[in-house]
Amino acid sequence: MAGKALSELDSAIFRDGSVLYGQPYLLLHCTCLQPQNRDIFMTGGGNGGFNIYKYHYPLNRVTKHGEDGLPIGKMGDIELLNSRVISTQPVTSFDWSPDKAGLCCMSCLDQTVR
């Protein structure tokens, strides 16, 4: 799954403007970019889990549309770095530390801070 373009994945589901990568029928509660590296981001899901991804830019950011030849933007690839389920309730908030890369804090609906 890691390293494939989103347009090539059958498991990518588009709902309400959100991309749920490899997580079929999962409600996305929060997303957050890492302040030290904008290519790393996390998603918090309704199943009590969170996923950390890395975005890879495409070689060419513009391609031509097949039907009319007009230029269109090209999406890059995302790679799943880590995935954990930490609660039975949804992850509702998440924040990266501005001082230490990789340090984070999150809360869930089970009234805990992790």
Domain count, the chain: 1
What pLDDT score does 59 carry?
Answer: 87
- Per the CB < 8 A criterion, the answer to whether 58 and 39 are in contact is no
Residue 85 counted as domain residue: yes
Residue 1 counted as domain residue: no
What pLDDT score does 22 carry?
Answer: 52
Half-sphere exposure of 56 (CA within 13 A, CB side): 12
Q: For 58-84, how does the pLDDT look when each residue is reduced to its tens digit (9 = 90+)?
A: 888 888 877 788 888 888 888 889 888
What mean pLDDT is reported for the chain? 75
Structural domain boundaries, residue 100: 6-113
Torsion region of 102: left, alpha or beta (phi above 0 gives left; psi -120 to 50 gives alpha):
left
Q: For 26-62, how does the pLDDT look when each residue is reduced to its tens digit (9 = 90+)?
A: 677 778 888 888 889 888 877 888 888 999 988 888 8
